[in-house]
Chain A
Amino acid sequence: MKQVTPEQRIQEKQARKAAFHASKFYQIASWPFVHISAFYKKISVQHIKVDLSEAQDGSLIREIPRKRPIGLYLALIAFIVILIICFIPLNFRDVNWKWDYFWNDEIVRLFTPFKYRTKTIAGWWAYSWKKFTTSFSHLFYVCFLGTVLGSLIAIPVYYLCAQNVTRNALIRTPVRLFNDLLRTIPMFIIGYMISLIFSTGSTISAVLTVAVFSLGIMYQMMFEYIETLEMSPFEAIRSCGGNNLQCTNIGLHPEVKPMFFAYFIYTLEINIRASVILSYVGFQGYVYDLQNNIDQGWYDYVGAMLLPLLLVVAALQFISNTLARRLR
């Protein structure tokens, strides 16, 4: 068999490419593109005549080419057009602004104790504490356990998705596609599908929903971080005689661990905010009680229930922010 050297292979490829360019089909099919690109090149440069002479009498005129950012202009026009089109299908029929009602009856009543329910300010705080320890803790435990489960399962998955660890695209691409699909499905759909398997409303479905959802969030952030890591310790352990798993575990994992914890807390915070929707898909809990209270107009209960949510989410945001900033 004739040995084809790499140089010959490259020459054959170039010869085939030149033959295709000379064929009639290519010449006809590429005529509009050639002219459009020539037009684009012409309008993308603006020649400015500048008079550089000292006496400004037109004796030393030079032409300076200035680039026009055509892409930006087109993007701006497209943005405005889409924005205008977006107003068409919507209807704003029943909009009436009720400022008084909003301020006096909603916002102020959030924090004033009402004479038939929470009798005093101490009663307001007592109700708040009771709801915090029972129903908000329920929500928090569900989210925490779900995030823990999801993150632990995600650990091998995001190593499989990263390009510098898994060079084999046959393993990487399906895992990435599956995870992308997982990330696009909103939480309530996942909650609904999982609650089909177990009975609707049981806590294990909520925990599994949060786990699957956090798998989708964590893998995206983690594999982008892994691709920015240096592969030098990986190579060093490889030269000491390690297989892939040993190289990853000893070389890369110590770098990844701190970032993992920072993203874990970030995911926990996202999950708490997103699991609000779960109560509409059948898991009675904190938000179900909250909606009941709003519907019945018991705004002091509403205010008392909102306070733990506010504090916990703000605390988690603060922690995840400081961690992410320290580690970067």
Chain B
Amino acid sequence: MIELKHVDKIYPNGYKALSDINLTVKDGEFVSIIGLSGAGKSTLIRCINRMHDIQAGQILVDGVDISRLHGKALRAERRNIGMIFQSFNLIKRASVYKNVLAGRVGYHNTFETLFGIYSKKERLLALQSLDKFGILDKAYVRADQLSGGQQQRVALARALTQEPKLILADEPVASLDPVTTLSVMNDFTRINKMGITIIANMHHVDLAKKFSTRIIGVRAGQIVFDGKPEDVTDEVTKLIYGRSLNNNEKLGNIDDTPEALSEDIGKAPTLEKAPAKASNKAAPKKALKK
């Protein structure tokens, strides 16, 4: 459960990015934050992770005030929070497998990560996370040889390998084409069904309305709307964006997508349970989404 109490963030040049934010997110929700660019969406998400420091208030993640932690305790808290970036932020020259394993650095000390000493269970966990998204075939390929959607899936697998309780996503689908956008958003929904809370920045109101369970509107550093997706009417968008959206600013007809939303990929992968080896029958090959 994430709580933000009276959070203020002021940049060193005097610009006030967030003013008096009060927010409570329960476990298992899929929260979307919408608003204009520069309204404070990215700042809000990065403050939860302590990538930016706040000047006033408290941010409680499961009862622990993350804005007052330092050093080892901060790293221990950060490994429960996974983050997805807009430009994927993968290590380009390393293989996909190494990228996903890098999600486990919070669980080891420096010496072990220097020599790449991870336990066998963690390596299997990494491969399981890759398998959940259907890109196990690309496990040993160099990361910059994949397409955009596949790279974002690798980033999702890296976040899953951390065994997180919360995933923060900073405009995860902004640099993807429309078809890949829908596939990646479906993957987010599947992760949410595993029981992981998701707080995502969206810049498309339609995507937010379709895929999330709760929408938060931010304008000029303050929360102006907090409620269900059905309640986002034209007036609400006028409040958030300053004016209502035209037809060509919406995504169009996304109700009849070709893939079923309810295709389940099972529970979140954990360290303890070892996966069973597949039988000799040829498993149905998952359609690789380009």
Contacts and interface: CB of A to CB of B under 8 A. Distances in A.
Contacts, number: 85
Contacts of A166: none
A162 B44 CA distance: 29
A237 interface: yes
Main SS of chain A's interface residues?
A: helix
A236 B89 contact: yes
B14 A239 contact: no
Interface in B47-106: 49, 51, 75-79, 81-83, 85, 87-94, 102-106
Contacts of B103: 240
Interface in A208-250: 232-233, 235-243, 245-246, 249-250
B10 interface: yes
**Interface size class for chain B?**
35 or more
A251 B91 contact: yes
Nearest to B81: A239
A237 B114 contact: no
A235 B102 contact: no
Nearest to B102: A250
A240 B162 contact: yes
B110 interface: yes
B85 A250 contact: no
Contacts of A241: 75-79, 105-107, 162
Contacts of A233: 89-92
Interface string A1-14: 00001110110000
A254 interface: yes
Nearest to A256: B93
A239 B168 CA distance: 10
A255 interface: yes
A164 B42 CA distance: 21
Interface centre among A10, A240, A249, A258, by most B CB within 10 Å?
A: A240
B145 interface: no
A221 to B, nearest CB: 19
A241 B114 CA distance: 15
B24 interface: no
Contact of B92 (A5, A249, A255): A255
A5 B10 CA distance: 10
Interface centre among B93, B107, B158, by most A CB within 10 Å?
A: B93
Contact of B113 (A6, A242, A257): A242
A235 B51 contact: yes
B94 A246 contact: no
The 4 closest A-B pairs by CB, nearest first: A241-B106, A241-B79, A236-B89, A6-B14
Given A232-B87, A240-B82, A240-B162, 9 more contacts: A232-B88, A235-B85, A235-B89, A236-B91, A240-B78, A241-B76, A243-B75, A250-B105, A250-B113
12 contacts: A5-B14, A6-B10, A6-B13, A236-B89, A239-B49, A240-B103, A240-B158, A241-B78, A241-B105, A246-B113, A249-B114, A250-B113
Interface of A: 5-7, 9-10, 232-233, 235-243, 245-246, 249-251, 254-255, 257-258
Interface of B: 10, 12-14, 49, 51, 75-79, 81-83, 85, 87-94, 102-107, 110, 113-114, 155, 158, 162
